Chain A
Amino acid sequence: MGNILECHNVTKRYGEKTALDYLSLSVESGRITGLLGPNGSGKTTLIKIISGILCANEGEVLAGGNKIGIESKKIVSYLPERPYFSPGMKVSETIKFFSDFYEDFSEDAAVDMLNTLNISPDAKIRTLSKGNREKVQLILVMSRKARLYLLDEPMGGVDPAARDFILKTILANYNEEAGVIISTHLISDVEKVLDDVIFLKNGKMVLHKSVDVLRSEKGKSIDALFREVFAC
């Protein structure tokens, strides 16, 4: 189906520290890819470069064939590590905000999902629990008909039932021609939904393979494999 994302020799340095080290990878449309690696391996840096929040020092990134900029941002839906709405905003205002920003945003889809969670549109972000704040943010991001979803730790710090809700929301809403990249430490929770995994280590890719192939080759879960590859 073609590559929705291509990275060529992407390098990012923070002063002395190299966060991404001539990283090259590509992600196909229609597949869900897990971006896995220990803390400080470069996952968030990579996602921020693709979403246009950070600039690479070297290399090229193409999202849907576009260089990172206005055109790429139209087709990339990004879920940051932490929800970013101001605590004083109402849920309904965050929906208006997204609908104003993105042509591909479906207000109906967002409202439907909020209803199933019994989150009132009049509630202020401040009054929501941490889990519900993350869910609201995810609902907004998944209500876009994007071609590439970048989800940075979508389940960080929520309970197991909420994790299931989040995974089901991702599965039920992503468009089948779109690519999805999920970065996470909670591998055992996500491995059922992944097509492929990418392991990052010190800003370099050490593995990029299909989950099915890995499981039949190694006879173990991705979680177990991760523990082996990144054993301290």
Chain B
Amino acid sequence: MEWKFNNEAPIYQQIMEQIKAMIATGVLKAGDKLPSVRELAVSAGVNPNTMQKALSELERDGLLCSKRTSGRFVSDNQENADILQEAMMMECVKAFIENMAKLGYSVKDCIRIIEKYEKDTKDTSEEQKA
């Protein structure tokens, strides 16, 4: 697992976001066992209390579950990954639309631009193949 932290948000929130992303993208799968808090904390270079807090919050959200003696697991609920994936997708779209709006483009413009972008990159990749 690769961890990256920015300077603004609390670290435990950033850990939560990154674990959610791992579940959404299938790096962590339903039923996978997580390493111990201490191991995760050392690998991320963060305080074990911070890691604990992030994992507890994710448990409360139902994304992780802990079994008394055997450790902590990604919840078996298969829908979780889809829900997270969709939420992340919506965030990407929202950020994109907002950024484009700042540049003065409407949603309609965006669709046109995306279609042109797709066509252009397809053409160049075909040219490269040829």
Binding site for B on A (CB under 8 A): 30-32, 164, 167-168, 171-172, 176, 188, 192-195, 211-212, 215-216, 219-221, 223-224
Contact = CB atoms under 8 A, between A and B. Distances in A.
A212 B53 CA distance: 11
Contacts of A194: 47
A176 B37 CA distance: 11
B117 interface: no
Contacts of B10: 211-212, 215-216
Interface string B44-78: 11111110010000000000000000000000000
Nearest to A180: B47
16 contacts: A31-B49, A32-B49, A164-B45, A168-B45, A171-B38, A171-B41, A171-B47, A172-B42, A192-B47, A192-B50, A194-B47, A195-B47, A211-B10, A215-B8, A219-B8, A223-B7
A171 B50 contact: no
Interface residues of B, number: 18
Interface in B20-43: 38, 41-42
A212 B50 contact: yes
Given A167-B45, A220-B8, 5 more contacts: A171-B48, A193-B47, A212-B10, A212-B11, A212-B12
B44 to A, nearest CB: 8
B7 A224 contact: yes
Given A168-B42, A168-B45, A221 B11 contact: no
B53 to A, nearest CB: 8
A135 B53 CA distance: 30
Contact of B45 (A30, A192, A212, A224): A192
B5 to A, nearest CB: 6
B111 interface: no
Contact of A195 (B7, B38, B49): B49
Contacts of B9: 215-216
A172 B38 contact: yes
Contacts of B8: 215, 219-221
Nearest to B11: A192
Contacts of B50: 192, 195, 212
B7 A171 contact: no
B2 to A, nearest CB: 14
A197 to B, nearest CB: 12
Nearest to B51: A171
Contact of A32 (B7, B11, B45, B47): B47
A172 B43 CA distance: 10
Nearest to B44: A192
Contacts of B38: 171-172
B11 A211 contact: yes
A110 B32 CA distance: 33
Contacts of A224: 7
